Chain A
């Protein structure tokens, strides 16, 4: 009996140890962002580090007024539009690919590895290869054409893996039943398959949206004339760093968090409904 409680005590101690490490870990990955968040409310005469010299919305206001350097509002708008398009295409392609992979077909192995290469290839390589090719052909890159192209290459594998997992647990008996009752392929898809896989599609879309919205390396040489938000942030790094950058970072992060929350909410609601 004594040994038993000793064991229990030891286990509880280990658990406490791990829990405190977890909290420290969170502090490590979120701490800097909190510092940035607080510093974005820096007083007018304050700098980019602590201590705070008063609190103000001065730097946030600077974010809103049209500035001489860069075009933050425009860049943010472009990033959001791009992310939305990437989201739709990622969700669409990853669903189609995953549906194709339910059957074995010629070249499926090669295709699987090609899709996965999208994660493996560093963004700088895609940027370089495509940008040089376009230069050679005399075509100018743009965020909505070539930028969109390489973003989808990056987000597609994530969406694809999500959809593969969805179809792995999918009961195709339901589709068989619908087919036996004479439903056409399209009806089977819209009435049976689609409602069941919608949560998965939302999750694939989450990867599409967030990864594209934050992508920097792949757009570096391919955005063309107008910057996306990460490019704009990078450009402002070359000037003197001001708390405006922190305000921008905070705004962008809050927007990301909002989108993640929204996706998770939609996912939970849909997942509950299909169950």
Chain B
């Protein structure tokens, strides 16, 4: 269904083929390597070696302009990272709190919209699908600037719409200050992120179309309620895609950078609530040019991302249903 099963099945095919290769097989293997060679070189040059180098860098006080002046500082960068730098924990907390708010809202919205866009009772389905996808095509920087305008407390349409609909006097400089109020800033950022859920909607849509309609009909005949059908048929049947969306959203949120950087240049405004982990990384590595420390920050991100993805994959077998799975 997705990468998970791909990996499992390709690992399975790996076993049981340890015998010597025949001449034809050798020829085939050579051609195979010739075709994937490009990627192998790229993998070494742009992933494996830099990963190792990054680890080495994290033990150095790296001077990029005069590499010969770089000194080995042992665990100094790591000590600073784990025990001394309060911004590390602050930015990690910011990143995780935002993920905890933004991820569920984003995933539920994507699923909800997919269910609506999959409804047989919707007139003009294809047009609606295209239009709901369109904001995902808006260049990210342009999208952020558009949102920053529409969220303006006095002149933006959001407060004006709220004022018009509810009568509350919110459309003025002291009204709802979406981008300045630390209490709602994560909701604001989540709202901006909703413009990027087009792909998740499409994955959900494709998965919903793959659920055999006989299942729903059979459940209906058995008297299952709407909610029961949702919980016992739809969600399990599309759980692989939910899992896939979860992993991808999570990976994306760990690298959250562009929205806060474009909105406030990475100064954490308001009250440090938008000082995300990658902002810290960017400032240390590319503004203060402390690349040894930057490498340590990046490695910690890698370790955390790996740990959480591994946890997600480990829990997957309890709640993700694969139709083609052999038990």
> A and B from one assembly?
no
Q: Which residues of B contact A (CB under 8 A)?
A: none
Q: Which residues of A contact B (CB under 8 A)?
A: none
